[in-house]
Amino acid sequence: MRNWKLIVTAIYCLYFALACGGAATTPAPLPPNPIPDNATAAIEGTALPVPPTLTSGATGTAPETATPGDPNAITLLTKADFGNDRNPLTGELVDDPAVLQRRPLAIKISNAPPVYVRPQSGLNDADLVYEHTSEGSITRLTAIFYGKTPPRAGPIRSARLIDLELPAMYDAALAFSGASAGVNERLNSSDFQSRIIYSNEPGYFRSGEDKPFEHTLYGNPADFWQALAAKGQNTPPAFNTFMAFSNNAPPGGEPAGAVTLNYLWEVVEWRYDPEIGRYRRWAGGEPHLDGNSGEQVTAANVIILTPVHIEDPTICEEIRDGICAHLSIQIQLWGTGTGIILRDGQQYLVTWHRVNRNDMLTFTNSEGNSLPLQIGNSWVQVVPDWLEGPVQVTP
């Protein structure tokens, strides 16, 4: 056991309940920590630096994906292209343009253990879902809701360091069940603190299900928007950048009928279904379902990223036998990095960009041109950079 774990134990043991999202029962031990020692901050006992204020830069131009004269061709590149009736997070037309005048919601959703949390509610109504490692090797989800209003979303669990970035990227409010002391302190001093929806505000409810208490918290997004309105925070988002969309597959793709992602504790698989033009999701060998509809989770785009992951030695997420078993993981989702976009049964190698703090991710190809997403929802698979061969794409 590393010495710095003894140092942080005394500081955070009193906050263990918050770190577990207010759990009333003792959770099962998490899988062993797979992160190598050199992935920990170099200076023990010192917080990692706050992400820098990034400078502006070019993100390239769009490829010519639309067929001239094709009435069904749609290419969305700039704010003006979306008009007042297309969702900038999906490129989809909305039935009521008024929904685009509300603030996006970033809702923290549990993904483990599957027996208690699946099927999660609201996943197919989210514009974007980020799946990321929380601690050990388990994953957690942050779902961004904007264009659609599911009747409920959850189960809602505690925030992680990545949730200091996502609300800034999408000018979103944040709904979560709690956080470890270190994460909570940073959230409360963040630039979006005024639009955090705390668990004592309207919109949260317990499902009453016969399962551990920490897995029974859900949220009503409609009530969350009302809670924001009461605080004067349900205002239209000010998106700093815009993802590109096109209903025509760009050139240069390679066949990608399926992709598997091995997170160690669970293997995720996406399989392309040409009948619906979308990828279907499996998790742990089982179809992953949406609890609201009972339908399998699908995505128009699967985005795979491998940003730098570093443990923060000042924030403990889990204590076992008086020792910090798992530190908080800082996922450095800023600057640039490489990734893969799957759409239309094709894969594209891309560079992702987040130049300024309030930029959402944008994507370019090897020539520096914008790589458009298919119109529709996206799942962002954030894969730790220290895993070896975790992504396997098959034709």
In the chain, what are the domain boundaries?
Answer: 1-395
CA distance readout (Å), 328 to 159, 160, 331: 10, 7, 10
Please give the pLDDT value at position 137.
Answer: 86
| Other beta carbons within 10 Å of 342 | 27
What are the pLDDT digits (tens) for 82-129? 999 999 999 999 999 999 999 999 999 999 999 999 999 999 999 999
What does the chain come to in residues? Answer: 395
Q: Closest Cα to residue 390, out of 257, 281, 259?
A: 259
pTM, rounded to two decimals: 0.87
Class of the CATH-defined domain 1-395? alpha beta
Q: Closest Cα to residue 239, out of 81, 49, 63?
A: 81
| Other beta carbons within 10 Å of 280 | 18
Please give the pLDDT value at position 53.
Answer: 53
CA neighbours closer than 13 Å in the CB half-sphere of residue 376: 18
- List, for the chain, all residue ranges whose pLDDT scores fall below the cut of 70: 1-71
Q: Which residue has the tokens 């003792």?
A: 26
For residues 316 and 324, the answer to whether their CB atoms sit within 8 Å is yes
For residues 90 and 122, the answer to whether their CB atoms sit within 8 Å is no
Q: Closest Cα to residue 60, out of 349, 305, 350, 379?
A: 350
What are the pLDDT digits (tens) for 127-161? 999 999 998 889 999 999 999 999 999 999 999 99
The Cα–Cα gap between 223 and 145 comes to: 13
The Cα–Cα gap between 78 and 99 comes to: 20
Q: Write out the chain in H/E/C secondary structure.
A: CCHHHHHHHHHHHHHHHHHCCCCCCCCCCCCCCCCCHHHECCCCCCCCCCCCCCCCCCCCCCCCCCCCCCCCCCEECCHHHHCCCECCCCCCECCCHHHHHCCCEEEEECCCCHHHHCCCECHHHCCEEEEEECCCCCEEEEEEECCCCCCCEECECCCCHHHHCHHHHCCCEEECCCCCHHHHHHHHCCCCHHHEECCCCCCEEECCCCCCHHHCEEECHHHHHHHHHHCCCCCCCCCCCCCCEECCCCCCCEECCEEEEECCCCEEEEEEECCCCEEEEEECCEECECCCCCCECEECEEEEECCCEEEEEEEEEEEECCEEEEEEEEECCCEEEEEEEEECCEEEEEEEEECCCCCCCEEECCCCCECCECCCCEEEEECCCCCCCCEEEEC
Please give the pLDDT value at position 70.
Answer: 64
Please give the pLDDT value at position 73.
Answer: 85
Please give the pLDDT value at position 27.
Answer: 36
Please give the pLDDT value at position 52.
Answer: 52
The Cα–Cα gap between 155 and 204 comes to: 10
